[in-house]
Amino acid sequence: MTNEEIRAFLENAIQENKVMLFMKGTPNQPACGFSARASGCLNALGVQYAALDILPDQRIREELSGLSGWPTIPQLFVDGELVGGSDIVLEMFESGELAQLLGVEQAEAPAPEEPQPQKGPIGLENRLG
């Protein structure tokens, strides 16, 4: 794909989906805490949304940031308009403004916190013997 085709695809995704989240990873497997927080807010509200992983091709992020004027990921769009990134989405979730914007009931439970790294065994090669 050319950069122009990527940009056209992104523009189309924003216009065709009422709620569009560009993130690192997927809602089921976010690849960073910020993306986990943004998708967690949407999941807690029970809204249907489209999501696109920006990680497979660096040009996706470049074209998206050029299109939106927003440098960081995630980016949430509602009705074709940029809402913002993770901090703004979380603030709006906590205040009830996000639920109001999306036309849904405010969630009773708070949005999930940033996932903690899993603690597990570390495999080390024994080079002492």
Mean pLDDT across the chain: 87
> If pLDDT is split at 50, 70 and 90, which confidence band does 119 have?
very low
Q: Which residues contact 58 (CB under 8 A, 6 or more apart)?
A: none
Q: pTM value?
A: 0.82
* 45-74: pLDDT as tens digits: 999 999 999 999 999 999 999 999 999 999
Span 95-112, average pLDDT:
83
pLDDT above 60: residue 124: no
pLDDT at residue 22 greater than cutoff 80:
yes
Domain spans, the chain = 3-102
pLDDT of residue 122: 46
Reply yes or no on whether the pLDDT at 109 is more than 80.
no
Radius of gyration of the chain (CA): 17
State the fold for domain 3-102.
Glutaredoxin (3.40.30)
With 0-12 CB in 10 A as exposed, 13-18 as middle and 19+ as buried, what is 61? middle
Please tell me the predicted confidence (pLDDT) of residue 35: 96
pLDDT at 118: 42
Percent of the chain whose pLDDT exceeds 90: 80
CB 109 within 8 A of CB 44: yes
Alpha carbons 89 and 93: distance in angstroms, whole number: 6
Q: Tokens standing for 44? A: 């807690």
